[in-house]
Amino acid sequence: MSISPKGDVTVLADKYEGKKFNSPNDLWIDSKGGVYFSDPRYGNREGMEQDGEHVYYLTPDRGQVIRVTSDLVRPNGVIGTPNGRRLYIADHGASKTYVYTVNKDGTLADKQEFAPEGSDGMTIDAQGNVYLTTKVVAVYSRKGEKAQEIQVPESPANVTFGGPDNQTLFITARTSLYSVPMRVKGAATPVRSDGQAAKPKAIKEPRRPKKASRVSVRRSSARLIRILRHSCAVLVLLSAADQSSSSRRAHRFHGSESKGPTGCRVTSGYGGL
Protein backbone atom coordinates (compact mmCIF):
# COMPACT_ATOMS: atom_id res chain seq x y z
CA MET A 1 0.00 0.00 0.00
CA SER A 2 0.99 3.63 -0.38
CA ILE A 3 0.36 6.48 2.05
CA SER A 4 0.13 10.03 0.70
CA PRO A 5 1.47 13.07 2.59
CA LYS A 6 -2.13 13.74 3.62
CA GLY A 7 -2.46 10.26 5.10
CA ASP A 8 -4.57 8.73 2.33
CA VAL A 9 -3.99 4.97 2.11
CA THR A 10 -4.15 3.16 -1.24
CA VAL A 11 -3.84 -0.61 -1.64
CA LEU A 12 -1.49 -1.27 -4.56
CA ALA A 13 -1.62 -5.06 -4.51
CA ASP A 14 -3.05 -7.68 -2.16
CA LYS A 15 -3.37 -10.76 -4.37
CA TYR A 16 -1.59 -12.79 -7.02
CA GLU A 17 -3.78 -14.66 -9.49
CA GLY A 18 -6.78 -14.11 -7.25
CA LYS A 19 -5.12 -15.53 -4.11
CA LYS A 20 -4.06 -13.45 -1.12
CA PHE A 21 -0.40 -12.93 -0.39
CA ASN A 22 1.16 -14.69 2.60
CA SER A 23 2.79 -11.89 4.60
CA PRO A 24 4.58 -9.31 2.39
CA ASN A 25 7.83 -8.55 4.14
CA ASP A 26 10.65 -6.57 2.54
CA LEU A 27 10.66 -4.39 -0.57
CA TRP A 28 12.89 -2.45 -2.93
CA ILE A 29 11.76 0.22 -5.41
CA ASP A 30 13.64 0.42 -8.71
CA SER A 31 14.38 3.56 -10.74
CA LYS A 32 11.23 3.09 -12.81
CA GLY A 33 9.01 3.01 -9.73
CA GLY A 34 8.43 -0.74 -9.87
CA VAL A 35 8.42 -2.59 -6.55
CA TYR A 36 10.09 -5.90 -5.73
CA PHE A 37 8.77 -7.50 -2.55
CA SER A 38 9.21 -10.78 -0.72
CA ASP A 39 6.23 -12.76 0.56
CA PRO A 40 7.30 -15.31 3.18
CA ARG A 41 5.16 -16.87 5.88
CA TYR A 42 6.49 -17.15 9.40
CA GLY A 43 4.56 -18.81 12.19
CA ASN A 44 1.06 -20.14 11.62
CA ARG A 45 0.56 -21.33 8.04
CA GLU A 46 -3.19 -21.85 8.31
CA GLY A 47 -5.18 -20.05 5.65
CA MET A 48 -2.15 -19.70 3.37
CA GLU A 49 -3.52 -19.37 -0.18
CA GLN A 50 -0.30 -19.17 -2.21
CA ASP A 51 1.48 -22.37 -3.23
CA GLY A 52 4.73 -21.29 -1.62
CA GLU A 53 6.84 -18.34 -0.54
CA HIS A 54 8.01 -16.19 -3.42
CA VAL A 55 9.21 -12.78 -4.60
CA TYR A 56 7.03 -10.54 -6.77
CA TYR A 57 7.38 -7.43 -8.91
CA LEU A 58 4.69 -4.75 -9.00
CA THR A 59 5.04 -2.94 -12.33
CA PRO A 60 5.56 0.86 -12.37
CA ASP A 61 2.04 1.46 -13.72
CA ARG A 62 0.69 -0.67 -10.83
CA GLY A 63 -1.24 -2.70 -13.39
CA GLN A 64 0.41 -6.08 -12.96
CA VAL A 65 2.02 -8.26 -10.31
CA ILE A 66 4.68 -10.63 -11.68
CA ARG A 67 6.05 -13.58 -9.72
CA VAL A 68 9.82 -13.35 -10.29
CA THR A 69 11.01 -16.30 -8.17
CA SER A 70 9.37 -19.66 -7.53
CA ASP A 71 12.20 -21.84 -6.21
CA LEU A 72 13.13 -20.23 -2.90
CA VAL A 73 12.38 -21.66 0.54
CA ARG A 74 11.59 -18.49 2.49
CA PRO A 75 12.70 -15.25 0.84
CA ASN A 76 13.09 -12.22 3.06
CA GLY A 77 15.54 -9.37 2.43
CA VAL A 78 15.51 -7.70 -1.01
CA ILE A 79 17.85 -4.97 -2.29
CA GLY A 80 18.96 -3.82 -5.74
CA THR A 81 21.84 -1.83 -7.14
CA PRO A 82 21.18 1.85 -7.94
CA ASN A 83 21.50 1.21 -11.68
CA GLY A 84 18.82 -1.48 -11.40
CA ARG A 85 20.89 -4.15 -13.12
CA ARG A 86 21.27 -6.55 -10.18
CA LEU A 87 18.89 -7.70 -7.47
CA TYR A 88 19.93 -9.46 -4.27
CA ILE A 89 17.45 -11.75 -2.51
CA ALA A 90 18.10 -13.39 0.85
CA ASP A 91 16.57 -16.85 1.22
CA HIS A 92 16.23 -16.92 4.99
CA GLY A 93 14.82 -20.43 4.88
CA ALA A 94 17.73 -21.90 2.91
CA SER A 95 20.43 -19.80 4.65
CA LYS A 96 21.69 -18.42 1.34
CA THR A 97 21.65 -15.11 -0.52
CA TYR A 98 21.36 -14.97 -4.30
CA VAL A 99 22.04 -12.32 -6.92
CA TYR A 100 20.08 -11.98 -10.15
CA THR A 101 20.32 -10.05 -13.38
CA VAL A 102 17.29 -7.79 -13.86
CA ASN A 103 15.63 -7.90 -17.28
CA LYS A 104 14.05 -4.83 -18.89
CA ASP A 105 10.54 -6.06 -18.04
CA GLY A 106 11.44 -6.50 -14.36
CA THR A 107 11.77 -10.28 -14.48
CA LEU A 108 14.93 -11.94 -13.16
CA ALA A 109 17.56 -14.13 -14.80
CA ASP A 110 21.00 -15.67 -14.22
CA LYS A 111 20.49 -16.71 -10.57
CA GLN A 112 23.80 -17.12 -8.73
CA GLU A 113 24.66 -17.84 -5.13
CA PHE A 114 26.11 -14.66 -3.64
CA ALA A 115 26.66 -15.58 0.03
CA PRO A 116 26.46 -18.84 2.03
CA GLU A 117 24.08 -17.30 4.54
CA GLY A 118 20.65 -15.77 4.47
CA SER A 119 19.46 -12.54 5.97
CA ASP A 120 16.52 -10.69 7.39
CA GLY A 121 16.73 -7.11 6.11
CA MET A 122 19.68 -5.99 3.98
CA THR A 123 21.19 -2.90 2.39
CA ILE A 124 23.97 -1.83 0.03
CA ASP A 125 26.59 0.92 0.12
CA ALA A 126 28.02 3.18 -2.59
CA GLN A 127 30.90 0.78 -3.24
CA GLY A 128 28.51 -2.09 -3.92
CA ASN A 129 29.11 -3.88 -0.62
CA VAL A 130 26.05 -5.77 0.61
CA TYR A 131 25.09 -5.81 4.31
CA LEU A 132 23.30 -8.92 5.62
CA THR A 133 21.70 -9.30 9.05
CA THR A 134 22.23 -12.60 10.84
CA LYS A 135 23.77 -12.81 14.34
CA VAL A 136 25.92 -9.89 13.21
CA VAL A 137 25.85 -7.46 10.30
CA ALA A 138 27.91 -9.31 7.70
CA VAL A 139 29.43 -7.15 4.94
CA TYR A 140 30.11 -8.79 1.57
CA SER A 141 31.95 -7.25 -1.36
CA ARG A 142 30.18 -7.07 -4.72
CA LYS A 143 32.14 -10.23 -5.66
CA GLY A 144 30.53 -12.18 -2.82
CA GLU A 145 33.57 -12.19 -0.54
CA LYS A 146 32.99 -11.52 3.17
CA ALA A 147 34.83 -8.30 3.95
CA GLN A 148 33.83 -7.59 7.54
CA GLU A 149 31.44 -8.23 10.40
CA ILE A 150 29.86 -5.48 12.49
CA GLN A 151 29.19 -6.74 16.00
CA VAL A 152 25.90 -5.64 17.57
CA PRO A 153 24.89 -6.22 21.23
CA GLU A 154 21.66 -7.85 20.04
CA SER A 155 20.84 -9.93 16.99
CA PRO A 156 20.13 -7.46 14.15
CA ALA A 157 16.86 -7.64 12.22
CA ASN A 158 17.24 -4.96 9.57
CA VAL A 159 19.69 -2.34 8.37
CA THR A 160 19.68 0.79 6.22
CA PHE A 161 21.75 3.90 5.52
CA GLY A 162 20.39 7.32 6.39
CA GLY A 163 21.16 10.74 7.81
CA PRO A 164 21.71 14.07 6.04
CA ASP A 165 24.81 12.74 4.27
CA ASN A 166 23.58 9.15 3.92
CA GLN A 167 26.62 8.08 5.92
CA THR A 168 25.06 6.63 9.08
CA LEU A 169 24.18 2.95 9.26
CA PHE A 170 20.99 2.29 11.25
CA ILE A 171 20.53 -1.23 12.63
CA THR A 172 17.32 -2.45 14.21
CA ALA A 173 17.67 -5.24 16.75
CA ARG A 174 15.24 -7.07 19.03
CA THR A 175 14.66 -4.25 21.49
CA SER A 176 16.79 -1.37 20.26
CA LEU A 177 17.93 0.76 17.35
CA TYR A 178 21.68 1.21 16.80
CA SER A 179 23.49 3.82 14.73
CA VAL A 180 27.01 3.52 13.30
CA PRO A 181 28.79 6.58 11.83
CA MET A 182 30.38 5.23 8.64
CA ARG A 183 33.26 6.26 6.38
CA VAL A 184 31.34 4.99 3.36
CA LYS A 185 28.04 6.34 2.10
CA GLY A 186 24.97 4.27 1.41
CA ALA A 187 24.06 3.58 -2.20
CA ALA A 188 21.99 6.29 -3.83
CA THR A 189 18.25 5.70 -3.59
CA PRO A 190 16.99 4.89 -7.11
CA VAL A 191 13.81 6.97 -6.71
CA ARG A 192 13.93 10.34 -4.99
CA SER A 193 10.96 12.25 -3.61
CA ASP A 194 10.81 14.34 -6.80
CA GLY A 195 10.48 11.18 -8.87
CA GLN A 196 13.84 11.54 -10.61
CA ALA A 197 16.37 8.73 -10.71
CA ALA A 198 19.35 9.38 -8.47
CA LYS A 199 22.86 8.92 -9.81
CA PRO A 200 25.11 6.85 -7.52
CA LYS A 201 28.49 8.25 -6.49
CA ALA A 202 31.26 5.76 -5.80
CA ILE A 203 33.70 6.16 -2.94
CA LYS A 204 37.26 5.13 -3.70
CA GLU A 205 38.74 4.01 -0.37
CA PRO A 206 36.88 1.46 1.80
CA ARG A 207 37.34 1.98 5.52
CA ARG A 208 36.11 0.27 8.63
CA PRO A 209 33.00 1.57 10.41
CA LYS A 210 33.15 2.92 13.92
CA LYS A 211 31.64 1.30 16.99
CA ALA A 212 27.86 1.13 17.14
CA SER A 213 25.93 3.31 19.57
CA ARG A 214 22.49 2.55 20.93
CA VAL A 215 19.11 4.26 20.76
CA SER A 216 16.32 2.52 22.67
CA VAL A 217 12.97 2.42 20.93
CA ARG A 218 9.55 1.18 21.92
CA ARG A 219 8.32 0.26 18.47
CA SER A 220 8.64 -3.03 16.64
CA SER A 221 12.05 -3.00 14.97
CA ALA A 222 10.76 -4.75 11.85
CA ARG A 223 8.14 -2.05 11.30
CA LEU A 224 10.37 0.81 12.37
CA ILE A 225 13.03 0.21 9.73
CA ARG A 226 10.41 0.42 6.98
CA ILE A 227 9.23 3.75 8.42
CA LEU A 228 12.81 5.00 8.51
CA ARG A 229 13.40 4.25 4.84
CA HIS A 230 10.69 6.49 3.46
CA SER A 231 9.95 9.12 6.12
CA CYS A 232 11.49 11.93 8.09
CA ALA A 233 11.91 9.67 11.14
CA VAL A 234 15.49 8.84 10.28
CA LEU A 235 16.32 12.54 9.98
CA VAL A 236 14.78 13.27 13.36
CA LEU A 237 16.79 10.49 14.99
CA LEU A 238 20.00 11.67 13.42
CA SER A 239 19.48 15.33 14.25
CA ALA A 240 18.72 14.36 17.84
CA ALA A 241 21.99 12.45 18.03
CA ASP A 242 25.27 14.25 18.73
CA GLN A 243 27.28 13.91 15.53
CA SER A 244 30.12 16.22 16.59
CA SER A 245 33.71 15.01 16.43
CA SER A 246 34.08 15.25 20.19
CA SER A 247 31.11 13.01 21.02
CA ARG A 248 29.39 10.48 18.76
CA ARG A 249 27.15 8.84 21.35
CA ALA A 250 23.54 8.51 20.27
CA HIS A 251 20.92 9.89 22.62
CA ARG A 252 18.55 7.43 24.25
CA PHE A 253 14.86 8.28 24.01
CA HIS A 254 12.49 7.05 26.72
CA GLY A 255 9.04 7.12 25.17
CA SER A 256 6.46 9.90 25.59
CA GLU A 257 7.72 13.25 24.33
CA SER A 258 11.13 14.83 24.68
CA LYS A 259 13.40 17.08 22.64
CA GLY A 260 16.85 16.44 21.26
CA PRO A 261 19.66 19.03 21.25
CA THR A 262 18.30 20.56 18.05
CA GLY A 263 14.80 20.94 19.45
CA CYS A 264 13.27 18.14 17.40
CA ARG A 265 10.21 16.65 19.06
CA VAL A 266 10.48 12.92 19.68
CA THR A 267 7.51 10.69 20.42
CA SER A 268 7.82 7.07 21.59
CA GLY A 269 11.41 6.86 20.46
CA TYR A 270 11.09 8.34 16.97
CA GLY A 271 10.04 11.58 15.38
CA GLY A 272 6.36 12.32 14.92
CA LEU A 273 5.41 11.80 11.27
Per domain, the residue ranges of the chain are 1-117, 120-231
So what's the pLDDT on residue 241? 33
The class (CATH top level) of 120-231 is mainly beta
The class (CATH top level) of 1-117 is mainly beta
Task: Write the secondary structure of the chain as one string of H (helix), E (strand) and C (coil).
Answer: CEECCCCCEECCCCEECCEECCCCCCEEECCCCCEEEEECCCCCCCCCCCCCCEEEEECCCCCCEEEEECCCCCEEEEEECCCCCEEEEEECCCCEEEEEEECCCCCEEEEEEEECCCCCCEEEECCCCEEEECCCEEEECCCCCEEEEECCCCCCCEEEEECCCCCEEEEECCCEEEEEECCCCECCCCECCCCCECCCCCCCCCCCCCCCEEEECCCCHHHHHHHHHCCCHHHHHHHHCCCECCECCCCCCCCCEEECCCCCEEECCEECC
So what's the pLDDT on residue 147? 95
So what's the pLDDT on residue 191? 59
Segment 235-252 mean pLDDT: 31
So what's the pLDDT on residue 219? 37
The per-residue pLDDT for range 11-36, each reduced to its tens digit, is 999 999 999 999 999 999 999 999 99
Query: Is 273 a residue whose pLDDT tops 80?
Result: no
Query: Is 177 a residue whose pLDDT tops 60?
Result: yes
The per-residue pLDDT for range 44-79, each reduced to its tens digit, is 889 999 999 999 999 999 999 999 999 999 999 999
Is 120-231 in the same CATH topology as 1-117?
Answer: yes
pTM listed for this prediction: 0.73
Segment 113-120 mean pLDDT: 97
Q: Name the least confident of 32-41, 63-72, 187-196.
A: 187-196
Query: Is 222 a residue whose pLDDT tops 90?
Result: no
pLDDT interval class at 161 (50, 70, 90) = very high
Query: Is 102 a residue whose pLDDT tops 50?
Result: yes
So what's the pLDDT on residue 250? 34
Query: Is 152 a residue whose pLDDT tops 60?
Result: yes
